[in-house]
Structures are given as C-alpha cells and as structure tokens.
Amino acid sequence: MHFDAFDRYHEKESFLHKLDPRVKVLVTVIFIVSNALLPDGAWLAFILAWLFVVVANVISKLGIGFTLKRSIIALPFALIAITVLFSIPGEPLYTFNFLSSQLTITDNGLLRFVSILIRSWLSVQMAILLVAVTRFPDLIHALEHLRVPAILTTIIAFLYRYLFVMTDEVFRLIRARESRSGGVAGRRSGGGVLWRAKIAGNMVGQLFLRSFERSDRIYNAMVARGYAGHLYTLNAHEMKSYDYFATAFAIGLIFILQVIGRL
C-alpha cells in the first residue's frame, strides 16, 4: 500500500497550472509578506486580498471554495496569539477571572487578534493554492532558481519524498502488531494501557532503526549513481511572456492592496 495523503497537487488544465513555478512561488511569498505588513483593522484591504485568493481559485479551475474549506483547519493554530487580547493596552471591553488572575480584554487587543486571524487565514489559503497547482519537484526547483540555499531545498525534498515511505512503514508495523494480537470479535485486541504503551515504544524504536538503515542504503545508492547534491527535473523551466505579465500584474495588485490598507 502506498500512502499518498500528503500529496496535494491537483491535475488541471488551467492558466495557473501552466505558469512557471517561480512565478507562483514569488507571488505567494509576496502575498503572505504583504498580509503581514497590512495594518490592524485594514478591513477593505483584507476583503480585497480575499477576493484575490477567490479569483485565483476560479482561474485554477479548482472551485471558488477550494482553499476556503481546507484553510479552516489551520485557524485553531492562530489561537496561539490569543494573549494579545489582554496584553495590548486600550479601552477595557470585558473582564473575567482566570485561575488567580484577572484578565481584561481591550478594544485594541481584540482588533489585533482578529487581524492576526484574518492574516493567517488568507496566508494559509494562498499556500494551499500554491501546492495544489504546482508539482512538488517543480516547487523545489523554483526555490533553487530563487536562490534558496541548496541545503534547505535538499532537506525539504528528501523529507517530502521519504515521508511517504516512512508512513507506509508505520502501517506495516501496525498491521504486523494487529496480526499478532489475537482478540475476540467486537473487542479491542491486545492488553491494557501499559501493554499498549510498551508496544508503541517498541514500534517507535523499530521505526527509528529501519529509518536509519534505509537512509544508509539510499545514500550509498545515490552516490553510486552520481548524486552530487543537485536534484533534476524533466520539466524545463523557461519564463514566457505571459509569466512576466502575470508576475507584474499580481505584484501590482498586491501593491494596490498595501496602498488601500494604509489609506
């Protein structure tokens, strides 16, 4: 069995899919940085930035709500910024007791918190769209063309490639454990909590040893085949006229968002 849940590329015949991956990576990074630089409470700019993402969804032929549905899962991680509700000075809105402390939500804190949530939500949507319209090898080569350090692109590439392999290995270990843990129909097989903790620890140890041995074999095989630290692709990356136009147009729109956010 091959586990491919991490592969988020969607094959389509769209303008975004045909764009050079350097263009898509560059526009995505600029869009995310632009969101981070927008002032708190720049609601019109936030709305226009979201429309930018919606239009990109339509152009990609993935559907208007493609990134919207997939980005909701990332919002809970933005709750790490919840402390700004109480740490930013401003007019008090609500006071409550938490443990032995008294916390007060301020208007400026609420404004900052909501703005952080929106920025995170928009940035995650753009990142989701990037990996949905760009094959992973092309994404790695785009990073290399944009002068990202080779050590970083190599680590990312191997992490992504062998994440699938190690996930398959985990499923094989789980199937082996289940086949050796006889049980009664309708009841969980195996022993209690301590037994399961011990088995899980043994599985982690086995996975580490198998990973170490596999990495050594892979390294020797790659060196024997002439690997010199550079990854190759069958897709030639050549910037065409529409790539330059799309880059200039997208950057121009993002610049307008910054201007509107500061009016």
* pLDDT beyond 70 at 155: yes
**What are the structural domain ranges in the chain?**
15-135+236-261, 136-181+190-234
Residues 6+ apart with CB under 8 A from 203: 170, 173, 174, 177
Report whether 103 contacts 109 (CB < 8 A). no
**Mean pLDDT to the nearest integer, 72-78:** 78
- Name, of 35-44, 96-105, 138-147, the range with top average pLDDT: 35-44
Cβ-based burial of 236 (10 A; exposed 0-12, middle 13-18, buried ≥19): exposed
Residues 6+ apart with CB under 8 A from 224: none
Predicted confidence at residue 214, as pLDDT, reads 82
Pick 227 or 108 by higher pLDDT.
108
* pLDDT beyond 90 at 249: yes
* pLDDT beyond 90 at 143: no
Taking only the tens place, the pLDDT of each residue in 103-112 is 888 888 889 8
Predicted confidence at residue 68, as pLDDT, reads 83
* pLDDT beyond 70 at 31: yes
Global confidence as pTM: 0.77
* pLDDT beyond 80 at 122: yes
Residues forming beta bridges with residue 97, ordered by sequence position: 102
* pLDDT beyond 60 at 2: no
**Mean pLDDT to the nearest integer, 182-193:** 58
Separation between Cα atoms, residue 78 and residue 81, nearest integer Å? 6
